[in-house]
Amino acid sequence: MGQAHDSVSPQLQSFIEAQHVFFVATAPLEATGHVNLSPKGMDTFRVLSPTRVAYLDLTGSGNETAAHLAQNGRVTFMFCAFEGKPMILRLYGRGRVVTPGSAEWAELSPQFPTLPGARQVVVADVTRVQTSCGFGVPAMSFEAERDTLARWAEAKGVEGLRRYRAEKNRVSIDGLPAPMPSPTGP
């Protein structure tokens, strides 16, 4: 059934690369705070090394992940095999946000597709890797990526996205501050 690993092996990296969706979970330190669990896709996840991963985060309705990471750094990524052999893979770690305009952004962003609305890269140092059976996950076929988010971001434009982030992405639903891209970033 479940197995713990020290790092992301080449086999597990291949599994990650084959998945069309992954999930990101974070939580504030406060017991009354909200746990956040977000589905992601669009080929935005990368294994940088056996113990470091990153994903390109796009502008959305909130910015819970960034706020939680700024407060405590805890993050879990989950991948499920919806096609083929069943498996669930969880990567536990300590994460942080890299925003446009920083030197690290210039190093990381070329590793991802160019997508409208890119607001930050979430980087995590992996402290635990765990697989489990996935026998209860349904078998489903991938149809296509949705283009709705990209079309929405393109329609907003650079200035519209800046205004939207200033209004909707500055604090979490629990009132925690979230890192924001520099005024010169996208």
pLDDT tens-digit map of 165-179: 999 999 999 999 998
Residue 148 · residue 24 · CB < 8 Å: no
Q: What pLDDT was estimated at residue 180?
A: 81
Helix runs in the chain, H state only: 10-18, 64-71, 103-108, 148-168
Give residue 122's domain range.
Answer: 3-136+144-168
- The predicted-structure confidence for 84-134, as pLDDT tens digits, reads as follows 999 999 999 999 999 999 999 999 999 999 999 999 999 999 999 999 999
Q: How many separate domains does the chain show? A: 1
The residue-averaged pLDDT of 68-74 equals 98
- The predicted-structure confidence for 145-158, as pLDDT tens digits, reads as follows 999 999 999 999 99
Domain assignment present for 175:
no
pTM of full prediction above 0.75: yes
Domain assignment present for 35:
yes
Structure tokens at 92: 């536990």
Residue 47 · residue 15 · CB < 8 Å: no
CATH code assigned at 18: 2.30.110.10
Residue 57 · residue 120 · CB < 8 Å: yes
Q: Which of 177, 142, 141 is nearest to 43 (CA)?
A: 142
- The predicted-structure confidence for 7-52, as pLDDT tens digits, reads as follows 999 999 999 999 999 999 999 999 999 999 999 999 999 999 999 9
Domain assignment present for 42:
yes
Domain assignment present for 186:
no
Q: Where are the beta strands (DSSP E) in 52-138?
A: 52-58, 74-80, 88-98, 118-132
Please determine, for residue 182, whether its predicted confidence score (pLDDT) is greater than 90. Answer: no
Say what the alpha-carbon torsion angle 96, 101, 106, 109 is, to the nearest 10 degrees. 60
